[in-house]
């Protein structure tokens, strides 16, 4: 049954295991579709809302391909759960990047790993001057969606977010955050408090043109019904370890009283970025560089008032994209992270050319990539009375250490919470409503086998016990936790994930509902269309 259109959806998907991350349409999907689903077992009656997801949906425009996993044009998905029934909807976001690409049948705006070139139909003088018109930043918001006041916004990692209607999935307007706060971009992983207050982080140029990272606060719904984004403000600033080379930032930590920013050794060379982009075609990935000697720095600031805590926390080099949780305990800040050892940028392995290789070749390439590991770091706040060379951590339940050195830095060593060769615990989720920024026990994640998402995992961060849901030839997305309305335990609720089934015997994708306690299946709702893999999303009650 179709409520918006009757046009069929034409999809062409890769049919091999190694293409699961790049299952996509090579011809445009229809702009919107809704499909009733076939349901196995019974959906909990209290689960009455919408699962919203975002990810790439198109990797070719005309005869021009996109080259990186993060370049696909944003496709928004919705599973409505009402009265035990499920209906699936999807629409492409009508961003400038998408609309102009569809109009001109080519890549018009440079994406993360794909450079856009001037219109070949222009004469040589027009093309020459086009190179010097400045940087046109993409608004392809394919990473995440989150609420701001009574509105909902799709986000990427630039200065643009896109307002969407969560009921119809229509694109409403493009918002440039630079009009309200001093940032060059914000992450797609904000922290949201119970009253609706939003905190996020982005890099900027600070005093004397020095690079810095700003924490931005967006207030909750205003009494005068004005747009909360218009009341955005910077509340605290973190310094950068290098003046013209900001670190890549994908997420950050927040407790009840502190912000934690992890500055990793993967850097954006701004001089290269500005000069190369204006002279020749280049993309964001071309401007990343890393240096193992820099190591990784942890920065801390208080929330109210927003003040930088001038302790120099340092550790060995690693990549980090997702924070699991951060909380305070007895004068310490506990920071749990999904890390990748070393300084090499993990995104280098996510070019589509790499992912399209045969499975054995993918595994060989992944052996060169940084080793994934779930780590716990502990930061002492009061270190002034301690002696050099002594472990400053006194929490009885962790082996993480922090040692004050003669140069004034505090060297951190982690406790490893989970590690298995080439098996990543990524896209983490927790019971954020009850335990975000607080002590917790359980984390849920997507399990990656050599970058292939083939399972859903649960981790007890205290005992290190693990649970796994896995099914042959089935590839899930990030599992979202939804708490039961009468919950008495931290893991009393369900996990929602979209599972895709590419390959020779393509089966319909399905919405998977798991019991969060033991990852047993409660129900699944099969969709009679093929769904591309998604990145992040939210559950809207």
DSSP code for 68:
B
Q: Name the one residue in this structure whose structure tokens are 């931290």.
A: 490
Which residues, in sequence order, are bridge partners of residue 480?
A: 496
Query: Is 322 assigned a ligand-binding role in the annotation?
Result: yes
DSSP assignment of 354-421 = HHTS-HHHHHHHHTTSPPEEEEEEEEES--TTSPTTSB----TT---EEEE-TTSEEEEEPEEEE--T
Alpha-carbon dihedral angle through residues 402, 407, 409, 411, given to the nearest 10 degrees: -40
Closest CA to 85 of 59, 50, 127, 131: 50
Q: Which residues pair with 308 in a beta bridge?
A: 301
Q: Would you give the DSSP letter of residue 58? A: B
Inter-CA distances, 171 with 15, 140, 161, 166, 540, Å: 31, 12, 11, 10, 18
How far apart (Å, rounded) are the C-alpha atoms in residues 1 and 183? 45
Which two structure tokens, joined as six digits, stand for 189? 């992983």
Cis peptide before 305 (omega within 30 of 0): yes
311 is in an annotated binding site: no
User: How far is the C-alpha of 98 from the C-alpha of 111, rounded, in Å?
Assistant: 11
Q: Is the peptide bond before 407 cis (omega within 30 degrees of 0)?
A: no
232 close to 214: Cβ distance less than 8 angstroms: no
Which residues, in sequence order, are CB contacts of 168 under 8 Å at separation 6+? 4, 91
> Would you state the structure tokens that stand for residue 125, as one six-digit string?
């003088």
| Interatomic CA distance for residues 353 and 361, integer angstroms | 11
The Cα diameter of the chain in Å comes to 72
d(CA 80, CA 496): 12
Rounded-to-integer distance, Cα 4 and Cα 385, Å: 67
Residue 536 annotated as binding?
yes
Backbone angles phi, psi at 75, to 5 degrees: -120, 125
**CA-based nearest residue to 263, from 320, 216, 345, 187:** 320
Judge whether 241 and 208 are in contact, CB under 8 Å.
Answer: no
Q: Considering only CA atoms, which of 375, 441, 374, 361 is closest in space to residue 414? A: 375
- Count the Cβ atoms, other than its own, within 10 Å of residue 273: 20
Q: Does 250 appear as a known binding residue?
A: yes
Token reading at 152: 């909902």
Alpha helical stretches, state H, 69-143: 96-104, 124-130
Dist. CA 2–CA 391, nearest whole Å: 63
Residues at the binding site are 189, 250, 322, 536
Residues at the binding site for Fe cation are 189, 250, 322, 536
């Amino acid at each position: 049954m179709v409520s918006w259109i009757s046009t069929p959806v034409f999809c062409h998907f890769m049919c091999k295991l190694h293409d699961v991350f790049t299952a996509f349409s090579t011809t445009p999907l229809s702009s919107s579709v809704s499909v009733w689903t076939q349901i196995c077992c019974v959906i909990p009656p209290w689960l009455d809302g919408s699962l919203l997801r975002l990810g790439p949906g198109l990797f070719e425009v005309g005869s021009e391909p996109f080259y990186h996993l993060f370049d696909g044009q944003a496709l928004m998905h919705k599973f409505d759960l009402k009265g035990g029934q499920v209906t699936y909807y999807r629409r492409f976001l009508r961003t400038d990047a998408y609309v102009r690409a569809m109009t001109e049948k080519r890549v018009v705006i440079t994406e993360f790993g794909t450079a856009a070139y001037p219109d070949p139909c222009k004469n040589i003088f027009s093309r020459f001057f086009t190179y010097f018109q400045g940087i046109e930043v993409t608004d392809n918001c394919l990473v995440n969606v989150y609420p701001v006041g009574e509105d909902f916004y799709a986000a990427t990692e630039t200065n643009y977010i896109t307002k969407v209607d969560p009921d119809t999935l229509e694109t409403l307007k493009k918002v440039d955050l630079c009009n309200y706060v001093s940032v060059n971009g914000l992450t797609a992983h904000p922290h949201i408090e119970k009253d609706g207050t939003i905190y996020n982080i982005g890099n900027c140029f600070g005093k004397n043109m020095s690079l810095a990272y700003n924490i931005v606060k967006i207030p909750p719904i205003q009494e005068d019904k004005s747009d909360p984004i218009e009341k955005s403000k910077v509340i605290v600033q973190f310094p950068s370890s290098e003046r013209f080379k900001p670190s890549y930032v994908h997420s950050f930590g927040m407790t009840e009283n502190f912000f934690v920013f992890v500055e990793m050794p993967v850097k954006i060379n701004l001089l290269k970025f500005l000069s190369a982009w204006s002279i020749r075609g280049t993309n964001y990935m071309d401007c990343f560089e890393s240096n193992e000697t820099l190591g990784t720095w942890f920065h801390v600031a208080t929330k109210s008032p927003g003040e930088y805590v001038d302790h120099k926390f340092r550790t060995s080099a690693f990549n980090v994209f997702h924070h699991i949780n951060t909380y305070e305990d007895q004068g310490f800040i506990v920071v749990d992270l999904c890390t990748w050892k070393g300084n090499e940028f993990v995104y280098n392995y996510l070019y589509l050319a790499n992912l399209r290789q045969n499975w054995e070749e993918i595994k060989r390439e992944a052996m060169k990539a940084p080793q994934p590991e779930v780590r716990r770091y502990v930061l002492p706040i009061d270190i002034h009375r301690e002696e050099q060379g002594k472990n400053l951590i006194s929490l009885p339940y962790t082996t993480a250490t922090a040692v004050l050195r003669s140069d004034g830095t505090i060297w951190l060593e982690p406790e490893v919470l989970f590690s298995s060769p080439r098996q990543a615990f990524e896209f983490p989720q927790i019971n954020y409503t009850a335990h975000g920024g607080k002590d917790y026990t359980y984390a849920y994640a997507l399990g990656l086998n050599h970058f292939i998402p083939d399972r859903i995992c649960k981790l007890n961060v205290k005992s290190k016990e693990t649970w796994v849901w896995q099914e042959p030839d089935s590839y899930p997305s990030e599992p979202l936790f939804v708490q039961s309305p009468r919950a008495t335990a931290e893991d009393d609720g369900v996990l929602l994930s979209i599972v895709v089934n590419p390959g020779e015997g393509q089966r319909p994708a399905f919405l998977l509902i798991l019991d969060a306690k033991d990852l047993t299946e409660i129900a699944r709702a099969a969709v009679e269309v093929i769904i591309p893999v998604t990145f992040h999303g939210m559950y809207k009650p």
